[in-house]
Amino acid sequence: MTETRILKYREALNEALLQAMQGDENIFVMGCGVDDEGGIFGTTRAAYEAFGKERVIDAPLSENAIAGIGVGAAIMGRRPVIVHARNDFLLLAMDQIINHAAKWNFMSGGKLDCPMLIRAIVGRGWGQAAQHSQSLQSLFAHIPGLKVILPSTAYDAKGLLLASLQDNETVICIEHRLLYEIEEPVPEEAYTIPLGKGDVKRSGKDVTLVAFSYMVAEALKAATLLEAENISVEVIDPRCVAPLDMDLILESVRKTGRVVIADTSWKSFGASAEIATRIYESCLRELEAPIARIGLPDQNTPCASNLEKEFYPGVDDIVKAVQSLTHPHHNASDYIARESSPEHAKFTGPF
């Protein structure tokens, strides 16, 4: 009988990794701190306790070398899981990821696969600032041969991680740190969610709200507030930016005629721009209003907490964007003060 418990996002990752390693002896983990007591916020601890240093390998801060070892192991039949406490550190391993992991299958005429999972965490708050808070999903999604997933819930985190560890291409899993304490029912048994399959997090009929990662949580809060104004919002979580479930997005847009896209990264040249373009290409005449996008301004993340509150978009921005589509002449007032979210308040430090 399937048992469903309440798990936090980070606990779901921890369980998924353990179950995957129990089922496939070729899976091993590398990264700085994966074997310590904290175990990357607890997400590698169960695997270390079960398999020890033979399969959960602490590594120095040599990101390019770790990625190269991972690529070599993957094309020789192993399934490495590389963990970075911040996805900003991936920038040191771009040659191995883009010129090797993403291209081995193509260059070998399909004879060699590179089934590697790279987990990387987005920081926010506690002075994470410009070098520990970047959301780089668009950068990696730009490269053919890479898959990029952004689980937004504990259920999705487990299912997508297990699916990634059965995939034969390199998958980059971008996890937002503010999601780690969010909890929900998660089945105990192993299950997978197909990569590239989005999810309707909330049904609606007036506006489609496409959101990634932590912005899904913000979108659901905004949808609840807008319900009081009789504005019905459908929240779509693509779950993956590559491959992207455009069929699900377009189906919703054709129903509502209005779209807001909320990303955790910069607006310029990002995922929201790509989705907006594809919507315009496919169903321009079915839109009842221009597409609205929410993302970071073209600036680097400030360190000071008071500046952070102005920098990051949130529930209030989403509410105003939706109102601008449904009631364009309405003078919207602030629904939510720019204060730290509950998830933000729980974050007391990176380790």
Contact 179, 342 (CB under 8 A): no
Cα–Cα distances in Å, from 315 out to 37, 62, 216, 271, 319? 35, 38, 10, 19, 6
Structure tokens at 303: 């360190």
Give CA–CA dist 193/159, Å, rounded. Answer: 5
Confirm whether 132 is a catalytic residue: yes
Which residues does residue 294 pair with via DSSP β-bridges, in sequence order? 262
Please tell me the number of Cα atoms within 13 Å of 54 on its side-chain side.
5
Give CA–CA dist 142/242, Å, rounded. Answer: 8
Give the N- to C-terminal CA distance of the chain in Å, as an integer: 37
The residue annotated as part of the active site, out of 132, 176, 327, 330, is 132
Give CA–CA dist 219/175, Å, rounded. Answer: 17
Structure tokens at 43: 């997400």
Q: Collect all residues with Cβ–Cβ distance below 8 Å to 282 and sequence separation of at least 6.
A: 246, 250
Buried b (16+ CB within 10 A) or exposed e, 91-111: ebbeebbbebbbbbbeeeeee
Indicate if the alpha-carbon torsion angle 193, 196, 197, 201 is positive or negative: positive
Q: Which residues are catalytic?
A: 132
